[in-house]
Structure 1
């Protein structure tokens, strides 16, 4: 019929060679009341923010999890779960004020305690994260935690349920940009 779409897709045949097959238009395959999930690529090696290293994993993780800050369409750092933040005069202490309307999938509020847990977890040497040192290593205590010399990250402090303080080893103008990488994203302790 006029206007109908023909889709051609590639699949691997039994002999390992690529075969091209005609598939019906997507709208003919959909059942009313269902949705289509458009995947970003192949299966991601990890969906754990602290373990995401490949482009595929990072893209999936960014679609599922959130952090204190994120990059906007102009690649500028903007608030995500943090409403705003203050930076100390010496540039080493960042105080993040969190939104109080963010919840995990089970309805539990996301708090500063969850961010503290998530950063401590990312720095746990048993997790063997290869991204934590590079993205969170400027935080006081991360290197010691990764080396197994400390339990938890001393430079991350919960001020109250919706205020998190992070202390750096020295002023770093790029620190907020590093927090846009999944290693700093919040995870629910009950589901990891």
Structure 2
């Protein structure tokens, strides 16, 4: 039999220490969340385009649907198997040009961000390649689902990325750098 000499005072001190650590962790999470928050209110169905802190434009799905659309049939390979899609989409180049025709010359890369904070980096040379980077808003003719299951989301698709690792679901912002 093992005997311990832990008294009530020791357990009380241990509980106080544990509570202090939990509070400290919570404060660290709150602090870093504040640092990562850019102040913009982002919502699905609207794409905010910015360069640093400067807003360059904002487009709704309705705005993007007015731009030239294409159908992209593709198979995305993943660890879960293959997924067939028939996206209705607009070239990212057309979206950028609708804001400012010189953006592709001024910036070298784009950070695409989803409502879930997933980000991917797209080199501007990829955007300039024909038939490569698109903003999709429908699959098999049906609007893309939002993160909460509604209708009206967008996603970045990159045709040269056969595994879809840089596809950004629930797209809400593009930061040009």
Scaled by the length of structure 1, the TM-score of the pair is 0.29
Name the structure where strand makes up a greater proportion of residues: 2
Larger radius of gyration: 2
TM-score (norm 2): 0.31
